[in-house]
Amino acid sequence: MAEALWRLRGGRVRLLTAVGDDADGRYLADVAPGLLLDGCVVKNARTPTYAAVLDGKGECQIGLGDMSLHSHITPAMVDNHREVLKQAPLVVFDGNIPESTMNHVMHLCNSMQKPVQCAYPSNGYKNILDGLNYIIKIIFISLQQDSWNELCLKTVSTARL
């Protein structure tokens, strides 16, 4: 997604993430010069990857991924790039980052009145309902079907309390 946005905006997109110093990390740095912010490359680590098998309807039947490197995306790392965040017209993050970092980003976006796009992994929506009170405006939330079902059930049961 970051590479596509980088291309659409003529290189005016920045990515705060954790990539390894492997072939995938080098590819991302080479294909989109200037996309990765300082401090994103983790030495002797593998870049997070994900592969999915889709059925004829486009529904994910199985997914395999290694997202462990996302644990390196900390609130302190976000704070190191606060100026970039201030200049961003939109902040996009996915649910594979640590929950503490997710809450920190949402808190900062709220204080800066920044719109946010949240893309959550298929393994659940984490604490999206708890985090909504931090956000001024969420413009888009991307969830897998099972996560939508779980979110809707929680919303209905919460509304009945």
Name residue, tokens 């509304």.
159
- pTM for the model: 0.72
Q: Is 44 helix (H, G, I), strand (E, B) or coil?
A: coil
Domain boundaries, the chain: 1-71, 73-161
**110: pLDDT strictly greater than 50:** yes
Instruction: Render the burial of 97-111: b for 16+ CB within 10 Å, e for the rest.
Output: beeebbbbbbebbbe
CATH class given for the domain over 73-161: alpha beta
**SS3 of 70-119:** HHHCCHHHHHCCHHHHHHCCCEEEECCCCHHHHHHHHHHHHHHCCEEEEE
| CA–CA separation, 144 and 35 (whole Å) | 27
For the stretch 4-61, pLDDT in tens is 889 999 999 999 999 999 999 999 999 999 999 999 999 999 999 888 899 999 888 8
